[in-house]
Amino acid sequence: MTVLAPVNDILQDMADSLENLALLQQRELNAIVERQHADVNAIADAKEKTLIHISELDQQLAQHPDNEQLKDDADLAEAVAAIKATLSDVQHQSQVNERVVQSTLNSIEQLKQSILQSARKDTLTYNSKGKIR
């Protein structure tokens, strides 16, 4: 038989996990800006594990026999509200990070195109009359 953790312990674990996710997102943004690509991959792995853990905690809460306490108990309801606020902040930071990544990828693509155009100009040949072949 599985022993269920108390609802307040699950909530605390979820709050801690969301705080950890927020810190990972900030580290990710710093790594992107500083072009520390190996760090970005490691952070993405850590974020994935944290998200899986948060999802598992959410399922535990949804299936917990005492989950009605989340609405009835004022302290627990306050903890849920704080978790929702943190989740909103994390989602916003995720959108910011996504925009930064997209901007970085666009810059890389522009640089690539510039390099390719420059390389093509270097390979141009001319005929005896000075015309491009």
Give tens-digit pLDDT for 59-95: 999 999 988 888 888 999 999 999 999 999 999 999 9
C-alpha to C-alpha distance for 112 and 110, rounded to whole angstroms: 5
Q: Please, what are the averages of pLDDT over each run of 10 residues along the chain (133 residues)?
A: 79 96 95 89 95 95 89 90 96 94 88 80 66 64
Which pLDDT value is given to residue 111?
Answer: 87
CB 99 within 8 A of CB 106: no
Are 50 and 17 in contact by the 8 Å Cβ rule? The answer is yes
CA distance linking residue 28 with residue 40, whole number of Å = 6
* Distance, CA of 55 to CA of 47 (rounded, Å): 12
> What's the pTM value of the predicted model, to 2 decimals?
0.78
pLDDT of residue 69: 86
The predicted pLDDT at position 1 comes to 47
The Cα 67–Cα 32 span in angstroms is 39
